[in-house]
Amino acid sequence: MRKPLITLALTLLSTAAFASAKCEPHPKSEWIPESQVKARLTAQGYKMRIFKVEGDCYEIYGTDKDGRKVEIYFDTKTLAIVKSEIND
Protein backbone atom coordinates (compact mmCIF):
# COMPACT_ATOMS: atom_id res chain seq x y z
CA MET A 1 0.00 0.00 0.00
CA ARG A 2 2.84 2.41 0.76
CA LYS A 3 4.55 1.89 -2.59
CA PRO A 4 1.65 3.29 -4.68
CA LEU A 5 1.39 6.29 -2.36
CA ILE A 6 5.12 6.99 -2.62
CA THR A 7 4.96 6.68 -6.41
CA LEU A 8 1.99 9.04 -6.55
CA ALA A 9 3.73 11.57 -4.29
CA LEU A 10 6.91 11.53 -6.38
CA THR A 11 4.94 11.92 -9.58
CA LEU A 12 3.04 14.90 -8.20
CA LEU A 13 6.22 16.52 -6.91
CA SER A 14 8.07 16.10 -10.19
CA THR A 15 5.12 17.53 -12.11
CA ALA A 16 4.74 20.41 -9.69
CA ALA A 17 8.42 21.26 -9.98
CA PHE A 18 7.83 22.60 -13.48
CA ALA A 19 4.10 23.12 -13.27
CA SER A 20 4.23 26.89 -13.30
CA ALA A 21 6.39 29.95 -13.33
CA LYS A 22 6.21 33.14 -11.34
CA CYS A 23 5.67 35.98 -13.77
CA GLU A 24 5.46 39.58 -12.70
CA PRO A 25 1.82 40.67 -12.66
CA HIS A 26 0.91 43.47 -15.08
CA PRO A 27 -2.47 45.13 -15.65
CA LYS A 28 -4.22 43.31 -18.51
CA SER A 29 -4.26 46.59 -20.44
CA GLU A 30 -0.44 46.34 -20.64
CA TRP A 31 -0.34 42.74 -21.88
CA ILE A 32 0.74 42.12 -25.46
CA PRO A 33 -2.39 40.78 -27.21
CA GLU A 34 -2.39 37.00 -27.67
CA SER A 35 -2.67 37.30 -31.46
CA GLN A 36 0.51 39.42 -31.57
CA VAL A 37 2.32 37.02 -29.23
CA LYS A 38 1.42 34.05 -31.42
CA ALA A 39 2.55 35.92 -34.55
CA ARG A 40 5.88 36.92 -32.99
CA LEU A 41 6.62 33.44 -31.69
CA THR A 42 5.68 31.87 -35.03
CA ALA A 43 8.03 34.33 -36.78
CA GLN A 44 10.79 33.18 -34.38
CA GLY A 45 10.25 29.60 -35.53
CA TYR A 46 8.12 28.22 -32.71
CA LYS A 47 5.37 25.76 -33.64
CA MET A 48 2.80 25.89 -30.88
CA ARG A 49 0.77 22.83 -30.06
CA ILE A 50 -0.73 24.59 -27.02
CA PHE A 51 -0.83 28.31 -26.19
CA LYS A 52 -2.45 29.40 -22.96
CA VAL A 53 -2.48 31.94 -20.18
CA GLU A 54 -1.14 30.46 -16.96
CA GLY A 55 -1.56 32.92 -14.09
CA ASP A 56 0.37 36.03 -15.12
CA CYS A 57 2.29 34.22 -17.88
CA TYR A 58 1.81 33.20 -21.47
CA GLU A 59 2.74 29.54 -21.78
CA ILE A 60 3.47 27.48 -24.87
CA TYR A 61 4.02 23.80 -25.54
CA GLY A 62 5.43 22.90 -28.92
CA THR A 63 8.72 22.94 -30.80
CA ASP A 64 11.39 25.54 -31.45
CA LYS A 65 13.01 26.37 -34.81
CA ASP A 66 15.37 23.40 -34.36
CA GLY A 67 12.49 20.96 -33.80
CA ARG A 68 13.18 20.51 -30.06
CA LYS A 69 10.20 20.09 -27.74
CA VAL A 70 9.68 23.15 -25.56
CA GLU A 71 7.60 24.32 -22.63
CA ILE A 72 8.16 28.04 -22.17
CA TYR A 73 6.62 30.70 -19.93
CA PHE A 74 6.75 34.30 -21.17
CA ASP A 75 6.15 37.63 -19.42
CA THR A 76 2.82 38.99 -20.70
CA LYS A 77 4.13 42.55 -21.13
CA THR A 78 7.68 42.06 -22.41
CA LEU A 79 7.66 38.49 -23.78
CA ALA A 80 10.83 37.84 -21.81
CA ILE A 81 11.29 34.13 -21.12
CA VAL A 82 10.58 33.56 -17.43
CA LYS A 83 11.07 29.80 -17.40
CA SER A 84 11.76 27.19 -20.04
CA GLU A 85 12.28 23.51 -20.54
CA ILE A 86 13.80 22.32 -23.81
CA ASN A 87 14.13 18.65 -24.70
CA ASP A 88 16.38 17.45 -27.51
List of domains in the chain: 22-87 (3.10.450.40)
Model pTM above 0.85:
no
- Residue 5 above 80 pLDDT? no
Q: In what order do the strands lie in the sheet with 69-75?
A: 47-54, 57-63, 69-75, 81-87
Supply φ then ψ for residue 26, to 5 degrees. Answer: -130, 150
Q: What is the pLDDT of residues 23-72, one digit of tens each?
A: 999 999 999 999 999 999 999 999 999 999 999 999 999 999 999 999 99
